[in-house]
Amino acid sequence: MARRCQSGTVVLIGDVWYGRYRVDVLGQEARVRRAVPLGSKREGMSKQMAKSKLLHLLEEQGVNSADVFTEVVQPGPTFADQAAWWSTNKLALCAPSYQETRGVYLSTHLLPYFGAMPVVAIGEQTAQEFIADLTSRRHLAPATIASILSTLKSILGVRVTRDWQLRLPPSMGEEPRFFTPGEMLRIVDEATGKWKPFFALLGEAGVRFGEAAALRVEDVDVDAGTVTVRRSIYRGRDVPTKSRAGFRVINISAGLVQRLRDHLSGKVSGRVFETRTGRPLAKDATRHALHRILDRLEIPRGGLHSFRHGRVSMLQAAGVAPDLIRSWVGHSNSRITSRYTHFSADFKREVAERVGLFPTVGLSGLSSPVVSDNVSAV
- Domain range list for the chain: 1-73, 76-166, 181-339
Select 181-339's CATH number: 2.30.30.180, 1.10.443.10, 3.40.640.10, 3.40.1160.10: 1.10.443.10
- Please enumerate in sequence order all residues whose Cβ is within 8 A of that of 4, keeping only pairs 6 or more positions apart, or say none: 64, 66
pLDDT at 355: 65
What letter represents residue 27's amino acid? G
Q: How far apart are CA 210 and CA 117, in angstroms?
A: 38
What pLDDT, on the 0 to 100 scale, is given for residue 5? 63
pLDDT of residue 215: 96
Q: What is the pLDDT of residues 114-149, one digit of tens each?
A: 998 988 889 999 999 999 988 887 678 888 899 999
Q: Name 324's Cβ contacts closer than 8 Å, sequence gap at least 6.
A: none
20: nearest Cα among 32, 2, 3, 5: 32
Cα R_g (the chain), whole angstroms? 26
pLDDT for res 35: 85
Strand order in the sheet with 220-221: 220-221, 226-229, 248-251
One-letter amino acid at 189 equals: D
pTM of the full structure: 0.62
Within 13 Å, how many C-alpha atoms sit on residue 172's CB side?
A: 10
Residue 241: partners with Cβ closer than 8 Å, 6 or more residues away: 211, 229, 230, 231, 232, 247, 330
Residue (of 68, 75, 155, 154) closest to 117 by Cα position:
75
Fill in the DSSP letter of residue 193. T
- Report the distance separating Cα 206 and Cα 250, nearest Å: 9
CA 79, distance to chain mean position in Å, is 25
- Give every residue of the chain whose pLDDT is below 50, as ranges: 1-3, 69-74, 363-372, 374-378
- Do the beta carbons of residue 32 and residue 25 sit within 8 Å? yes
Cβ atoms within 10 Å of 11's Cβ, excluding its own: 15
Counting every residue written for the chain, the total comes to 378
Q: What is the number of H-type helices and E-type strands within the chain?
A: 16, 8
Angle ∠(333,339,344) on CA atoms, nearest 5: 135
CATH architecture of 76-166: Orthogonal Bundle (1.10)
Question: In angstroms, rounded to a whole number, what is the distance separating the alpha carbons of residues 1 and 72?
Answer: 8
Per-residue pLDDT at 265: 92
Amino acid at 36: V
Rounded Cα distance, 240 and 258, in Å: 28
Signed CA dihedral, 267, 271, 273, 276: sign only: negative
13 phi and psi angles, rounded to 5 deg: -115, 110
Percent helix, strand and coil across the chain, each to the nearest 5: 50, 10, 40
Query: What distance in Å separates the CA atoms of residue 313 and residue 327, rounded to the nearest whole number?
Result: 15
> Residue 199's closest CA among 294, 327, 314, 315?
294
